[in-house]
Chains A and B, each alone.
Chain A
Amino acid sequence: MQLVDRIRLGLAVGVAKTVTGMVKMLRLGAASVLPGEISRRLHPRLLPLMFEQVKQGVILIVGTNGKTTTSLLLRTILEDQGYRVTHNSSGANLINGLITALLVDTDLTGNLNVDYAILEVDENILPLVLKDCQPKYILGLNLFRDQLDRYGEVDTIAQRWQKAIAPLPTDTTIVLNADDPTLNYLGQNLTQKVLFFGLSEPNLYLEEIPHAVDSIYCPSCGTLLNYQGVYLSHLGDYECPSCGFAKNATAIDSKDWGQILIGVYNKYNTIAAGLLAQEFGIAKPDIFQTISNFKAAFGRAEELTIDDKQVRILLSKNPVGMNETIRAVNDINKTKEAAVTLLVLNDRIPDGTDVSWIWDVDTEQLVATGGKLIVSGDRFFDMALRLQYSCEQIGAENTNFELIIQEDLGAAIATSLELTKKEETLHILPTYSAMLEVREALVGRKIL
């Protein structure tokens, strides 16, 4: 780095650190975005310069679902081996959030003292980051439909990723989910080193393809894909009957691996982080050790104990994510260890303002298992209607489940806890902003 760059970088860092201190002192929030914005104005090439200084390299994690949990697992694996790791806080996955995360570990002379930087990147921002930054690793988890009001269409996003990754050095390692046809196809068309992960466990196949699927057409020729089986949404074992496009061989045998938390989606998160960790040279037994001790990130299958009762918060922000949380909740409900579920639907900017997506969720499955369902949040009426329309019978004829509508979130949480028996678990399924509110109500502090 040139001296003049170093001085400007140091200046930017100094100002940013002052801002961080002030924001925190004045209790304005956790200062996860603003310092980045200010320092970027002071030094426009700040992000690429910081990328260059990460000793072992920067890992970008992209995908619709699972970024936070996978990042946290990977970070824990690395830290358990004694590495210094930096990681952007959940939700701060636009450019300014990335800069802010790296600034935390940068000193006033512009030195960044970390071995690895794990950065969650918003799927729409990836091309922008790659324009002038070179990560050593990119992990692509999945591409589902999310927040259509912001982004539009899955196909377009994959094409933009491909264009953005193409010019990167050939020794960049790209780790992709082979079970997602869109990402598998992307991997086949890259000149970089590509490693695939995926499941090879037909015992985990779904009985039928859920409705909320995005791309079951061949990304190469547009023919309907043949699936031997589906693990979740459009992730599965598939091939194209027309052009021969098929799932690539994976660099990891999922049958050998356990998993963190609950649900098939967390199996994906586990093997994705596991494959990367192996690529860094960490031994399998050490990775397994971290996996078995792992605790959840905020609101992602996080477990809390409130008044001697277990509470599990399962972030549910899009059709695929919610179908999977319903599947996990049903598996537990069937063992009679839970019977109460609280659904909180908000329609603020971080949630997506369009709540039509709940009609793409197979809530019929949740209602069929029965129990008590409490609804709350900004759009509690929409959720109540969705549940009502999940039943073949209406009103008194339906004795299988009980729908409780409670607008006030505090009251809804109190009711839900009250209805939960001592040995049972209360499941809470919130959208993003609702998850923050639920946590605040339960543990008394905000996280952002």
Chain B
Amino acid sequence: MELSIGWLYPKLMSTYGDRGNVICVQRRCQWRNIGVSIIPLDREADSAQFSKVDIIVGGGAQDRQQEIVMRDLQGAKAAAFRNKIESGTPGVFTCGSPQLLGRYYEPALGQRIEGLGLLDLVSKHPGIEANRCIGNVVFEITATPLAKELQALWDEDPIIIGFENHGGRTYLDSVQPLGKVIVGYGNNGEDKTEGAFYHNAIATYSHGPLLSKNPFITDWLIKTALQIKYQKEINLSKLDDSVAIAGRKAMLQRLELSQLIVTK
């Protein structure tokens, strides 16, 4: 078995360590002897390359880079990408890339950047004087059917631990939120929602990177991608996640959320 990871604009959208998400998927495939390749979906990539990926990973960008990406992601490329998301290709999109998938993003300075309109949400930067939303974030995944599928993989409530660092605020319309904030700002610091979930696309403000301390999401991406590609039920072998588990425990303790620690 083998998978191709499509990495959305690695040269333009790699501002906050989100390459880590690509590394996590890649390694957890390699550790299970699943063949894996990384396809950079950069400005040089054409729509055929967008069409052949099994998992899509996207990170955050500076405002200027975000504009370059939006100018490039048009026509056949945009159609291929849209088709991927609509047909259920699993993906994880952090920080800037959900803004890209939404209806539009209004940066602190300059013109509104139109998004692909795949996710029914809008993002706005309240101005350069406004505080950034920065800090450790903990949220529980509530989206259906994702929450149930993760529970089956991890054997406990899907609590996400990450770090948020965003100026923009996101407001959801009809799209369902990814989860409910326990500690942190989430989408906008107002309505306790965090991220969005659409078909199999996970959108979130959580860096850290997201997949490093939440390995069950990585495994969900791999399992979902393999099931779509090979059209059969896939059961992944267990990996030794003792470092991630200990790291999660330490962070929950530090944030005074010991009640969320599950002892197996």
With an 8 A cutoff between CB atoms, is B76 at the interface? no
> Number of B interface residues, CB 8 Å?
38
With an 8 A cutoff between CB atoms, is B262 at the interface? no
> Number of A interface residues, CB 8 Å?
34
The chain A residue sitting closest to B249, CB to CB, is A381
Contact B62 A360 (CB under 8 A): no
Contact B240 A394 (CB under 8 A): yes
Contact A359 B23 (CB under 8 A): yes
With an 8 A cutoff between CB atoms, is A385 at the interface? yes
A-B contact pairs, 16 of them (CB 8 A): A148-B15, A211-B10, A353-B135, A355-B163, A356-B165, A359-B19, A359-B20, A360-B14, A381-B246, A381-B247, A381-B250, A382-B213, A385-B247, A389-B27, A393-B31, A394-B31
- Report the bound CA distance from A394 to B215 in whole Å: 15
- Report the bound CA distance from A264 to B64 in whole Å: 30
A8 nearest CB across to chain B (Å): 33
| A residues less than 8 Å from B247 (CB atoms) | 381-382, 384-385
- Report the bound CA distance from A149 to B43 in whole Å: 28
| B residues less than 8 Å from A216 (CB atoms) | 11
- Report the bound CA distance from A344 to B63 in whole Å: 32
**Contact A354 B165, CB 8 Å, known A149-B132, A359-B20, A389-B23:** yes
| A residues less than 8 Å from B135 (CB atoms) | 353
- Contact partner, B134, options A353, A358, A386, A388, Cβ 8 Å: A353
Cβ < 8 Å to B, chain A residues 366-418: 381-382, 384-386, 388-389, 391-395, 405
Contact B19 A360 (CB under 8 A): yes
With an 8 A cutoff between CB atoms, is B144 at the interface? no
Contact A356 B207 (CB under 8 A): yes
What are the 3 A-B residue pairs with the smallest beta carbon separation, nearest first? A381-B247, A359-B20, A356-B17
**Contact A392 B24, CB 8 Å, known A148-B16, A354-B207, A405-B243:** no
| Residue from B17, B24, B27, B167 whose CB has the most chain A CB atoms within 10 Å | B17
- Contact partner, A385, options B134, B239, B244, Cβ 8 Å: B244
With an 8 A cutoff between CB atoms, is B212 at the interface? yes
- Report the bound CA distance from A357 to B167 in whole Å: 18
The chain A residue sitting closest to B109, CB to CB, is A156
With an 8 A cutoff between CB atoms, is B91 at the interface? no
| B residues less than 8 Å from A171 (CB atoms) | none
- Report the bound CA distance from A22 to B251 in whole Å: 40
A180 nearest CB across to chain B (Å): 17
With an 8 A cutoff between CB atoms, is A327 at the interface? no
Contact A153 B63 (CB under 8 A): yes
Residue-wise, chain A 345-369 has the 8 Å CB interface mask toward B (1 for contact) of 0000000011111111000000000
With an 8 A cutoff between CB atoms, is B168 at the interface? no
With an 8 A cutoff between CB atoms, is B209 at the interface? yes
Contact B163 A354 (CB under 8 A): yes
**Contact A382 B14, CB 8 Å, known A211-B19, A389-B24:** no
Contact A354 B212 (CB under 8 A): no
Contact A359 B17 (CB under 8 A): yes
With an 8 A cutoff between CB atoms, is B90 at the interface? no
Cβ < 8 Å to B, chain A residues 136-155: 145, 148-149, 152-155
| B residues less than 8 Å from A385 (CB atoms) | 212-213, 243-244, 247
- Report the bound CA distance from A213 to B65 in whole Å: 13
A209 nearest CB across to chain B (Å): 9
A413 nearest CB across to chain B (Å): 20
Cβ < 8 Å to A, chain B residues 1-28: 10-11, 14-20, 23-24, 27
Contact B20 A356 (CB under 8 A): yes
The chain B residue sitting closest to A385, CB to CB, is B212
| B residues less than 8 Å from A155 (CB atoms) | 62, 64
| B residues less than 8 Å from A213 (CB atoms) | 11
B210 nearest CB across to chain A (Å): 10
- Report the bound CA distance from A391 to B243 in whole Å: 15
Contact A356 B244 (CB under 8 A): no
Residue-wise, chain A 203-233 has the 8 Å CB interface mask toward B (1 for contact) of 0000000010100110000101000000000
A248 nearest CB across to chain B (Å): 23
- Report the bound CA distance from A126 to B18 in whole Å: 30
With an 8 A cutoff between CB atoms, is B68 at the interface? yes
Residue-wise, chain B 132-160 has the 8 Å CB interface mask toward A (1 for contact) of 10110000000000000000000000000
Contact A356 B209 (CB under 8 A): yes
With an 8 A cutoff between CB atoms, is B37 at the interface? no
A352 nearest CB across to chain B (Å): 10
- Report the bound CA distance from A395 to B207 in whole Å: 26
B91 nearest CB across to chain A (Å): 18
With an 8 A cutoff between CB atoms, is B227 at the interface? no
B176 nearest CB across to chain A (Å): 26
| A residues less than 8 Å from B258 (CB atoms) | none
With an 8 A cutoff between CB atoms, is B115 at the interface? no
Beyond the given A211-B14, A391-B27, could you list 14 further A-B residue pairs with CB under 8 A, ordered by the A residue number? A145-B15, A211-B10, A211-B19, A224-B11, A354-B207, A356-B163, A356-B165, A357-B16, A358-B17, A359-B17, A359-B20, A360-B17, A381-B247, A394-B239
| A residues less than 8 Å from B243 (CB atoms) | 381, 384-385, 388, 405
With an 8 A cutoff between CB atoms, is B83 at the interface? no
The chain A residue sitting closest to B27, CB to CB, is A389
| B residues less than 8 Å from A358 (CB atoms) | 17
| B residues less than 8 Å from A353 (CB atoms) | 134-135
With an 8 A cutoff between CB atoms, is B208 at the interface? yes
Contact B17 A392 (CB under 8 A): no
